[in-house]
Chains A and B, each alone.
Chain A
C-alpha cells in the first residue's frame, strides 16, 4: 500500500506534481501528453482502444463527479462501446493491475475513494 518512492513530479523537465500514489495533485494539469506520460509510468502504451476508455472515464467523471469503480466502469463501457468491449477482461487487458485505479490515474481523475 505504501508507495513513498513514487516521484513527486511527472518527469524531470515538467513541474507537474504527483501525489505519492502517482495521481495528479492539480487535476487541471491533465492533457493528452500528460496522459501519455502517466501511461508510460504504468508501462502502458496508449492505443486508440485505450483512448476510448480514457475518454469514457473522463465523461463519467464530468457527469457523476466520481471516478467509477470496476463494476460501473464495465457498465459504462458496455453502454457506449458495446457488449464486446464492455467486459472486465477486456478492460483488465488494456489496463493491467487495479484497472479502475489505473484508468482514473491516466485519465487525470482523483483516486476512486470507494475502491477498497
Chain B
C-alpha cells in the first residue's frame, strides 16, 4: 500500500502520472500547490471511492483554502496526520 504525495496543481503532469500509478487501497495526500484541489470539488479525485484523499491542513490554511475545504467536506490532515499516514502506509511516492 502506497501513500502518494502530490505537490503540484490538480491538472499538472505529475497529478496525471500519480493517477496512473495509484491502486485501490492506496492513499493520496495533497500538499503544497496541490491543495488548490480544495477549490474544485468537481475534480475526479473527489468523486472516486477507490482510495482516500487528504489535504494537508497547514498548506490549506497558508493559502486561504481551509474554508473551501471544510465547506466541500473534504478530508484534511495536519502535519501529525501526515506522519500517521506514513506510519500506516509502508511506502510513499512523491509526485512533483
A contacts B directly (C-beta below 8 A): no
Interface of A toward B, CB cutoff 8 Å: none
Interface of B toward A, CB cutoff 8 Å: none
